[in-house]
Amino acid sequence: MKFYINSISVLVLSLCIAGCALNNAPASAAIYPNCKLDDYCSVAGKFSVVEIDHVKMGKVMLADGKCINLSMSNAALKKYKKDEEISVVGVLYETPTVDELTATLKINGRRIGWSQCNNNYIFLK
């Protein structure tokens, strides 16, 4: 999915993929990075808060040195301490492609920044 903006636009996207409402996560969620897009995904590692495009998000450093960004509520961001080992379950999404200029994305009503770890992030209820 590609979205383009012109030189003076600020794009606000309200995206909701069919079935994106978060219900109770299944106990058998796949473990990242072996998750399917738009499905529940479990991730574990060292937590930190990062600010991406003026949006605070979580970041989990995995044992292999890779990372994944987390879209979390403000309350959830405050719940965890820096470098705390956490294990969470959310829905794995791909960051939509937007060319060149500033854009703000909203997924399920929450602003997200562009993932700095890879092209995916996990949305936590």
Domain CATH code at residue 86? 2.40.50
Question: Is the pTM of the predicted complex or chain greater than 0.85?
Answer: no
Predicted pLDDT of residue 28 = 77
Is residue 18 assigned to a domain? Answer: no
What is the residue-level pLDDT of the chain in tens, covering all 125 positions? 333 332 222 222 223 332 333 445 566 799 999 999 999 999 999 999 998 878 899 999 999 999 999 999 999 999 999 999 999 999 999 877 665 555 567 778 888 877 788 889 999 98
CA distance 46 to 85: 5
pLDDT at 101: 59
- Is the dihedral angle over the CA atoms 3, 90, 84, 32 positive or is it negative? negative
CB 76 within 8 A of CB 58: yes
Q: Is 105 inside any structural domain?
A: yes
Predicted confidence at residue 12, as pLDDT, reads 28
pLDDT of residue 26: 67
Q: Which two tokens stand for residue 15?
A: 């995206």
Whether 113 contacts 21, CB under 8 Å: no
In a domain, 9, yes or no: no
Provide the 8-state DSSP code for 74: H
Q: Is residue 87 part of a domain?
A: yes
pLDDT of residue 9: 24
- Check residue 105 and give its pLDDT: 75
Q: What is the pLDDT of residue 22?
A: 40
Distances (CA, A) of 28 to 21, 24, 31, 92: 18, 12, 9, 14
d(CA 105, CA 75) in angstroms, rounded, equals: 20
The boundaries of the domain holding residue 55 are 30-123
In a domain, 86, yes or no: yes
Domains held by the chain: number: 1
Residue 2 belongs to a domain: no
